[in-house]
Amino acid sequence: MKNIPSMTALIAAAQAAGVQEEYRLSSQRLTDYLRDTVNSCRAAVLTGQRVDLSPAALITDVRRRIQRRQESRLRRVINATGILLHTNLGRAPLGLLARQRVQAVAAGYCNLEYDTDTGGRGSRMSHIGERLARLVGAEAALAVNNNAAAVLLVLAALAAPGEVIVSRGEQVEIGGMFRIPDVIRQSGAQLVEVGTTNRTHLADYRDAITANTTAILKVHTSNYRISGFTKQPTRTELAELAKEKNIPLFEDVGSGLVLPVAAVGGTEPTVAEILAAGVDLVLFSGDKLLGGPQAGIIVGTGHHIQRLAKHPLMRALRLDKLSVAALEGTLLSYERGSAPQDVPILHFLGRGEGELRQMAEELACAMRQELPEDLWCTVLSLQGEVGGGALPEARLESWGVSVDLPGGSPEHLVRYLRRRSVPIVARCKEGKVLFDMRTLFPGEAAEIGAALRDYCQGGMAE
Ligand SMILES: *Cc1c(COP(=O)(O)O)cnc(C)c1O
Closest CA to 62 of 103, 20, 124, 94: 20
Q: What pLDDT shows up at residue 265?
A: 64
Determine which of 306-310, 370-374, 398-402, 415-419 has the lowest per-residue pLDDT on average.
370-374
247 within ligand 1 shell (Cβ under 6 A): no
Q: What pLDDT shows up at residue 262?
A: 72
In this structure, which residue's CA is closest to atom 12 in ligand 1?
254
Residues above pLDDT 90, as percent of the chain: 82
Confidence band of 387 (pLDDT split at 50, 70, 90): confident
Closest CA to 213 of 158, 144, 164: 164
Confidence band of 359 (pLDDT split at 50, 70, 90): very high
252 within ligand 1 shell (Cβ under 6 A): yes
Confidence band of 405 (pLDDT split at 50, 70, 90): confident
Confidence band of 203 (pLDDT split at 50, 70, 90): very high
Q: Is the pLDDT of residue 386 over 90?
A: no
384 within ligand 1 shell (Cβ under 6 A): no
**Given its phi and psi angles, is residue 407 left (phi above 0), alpha (psi -120 to 50 degrees) or beta?**
left
Q: Is the pLDDT of residue 263 over 70?
A: no
Residue pair 294/144 in contact by the 8 Å Cβ criterion = no
Read off the pLDDT of residues 145-169 as tens digits, 9 standing for 90 and up: 999 999 999 999 999 999 999 999 9
Confidence band of 389 (pLDDT split at 50, 70, 90): low
Choose the residue to mutate in 87, 285, 327, 393 for probing ligand 1, maximizing ligand atoms within 8 Å of C-beta.
285
Residue pair 84/439 in contact by the 8 Å Cβ criterion = yes
Q: What pLDDT shows up at residue 223?
A: 83
Q: What pLDDT shows up at residue 264?
A: 65
Determine which of 30-39, 116-125, 371-380 has the lowest per-residue pLDDT on average.
371-380
Q: Please, what is the average pLDDT of the chain?
A: 93
Choose the residue to mutate in 222, 281, 386 for probing ligand 1, maximizing ligand atoms within 8 Å of C-beta.
222
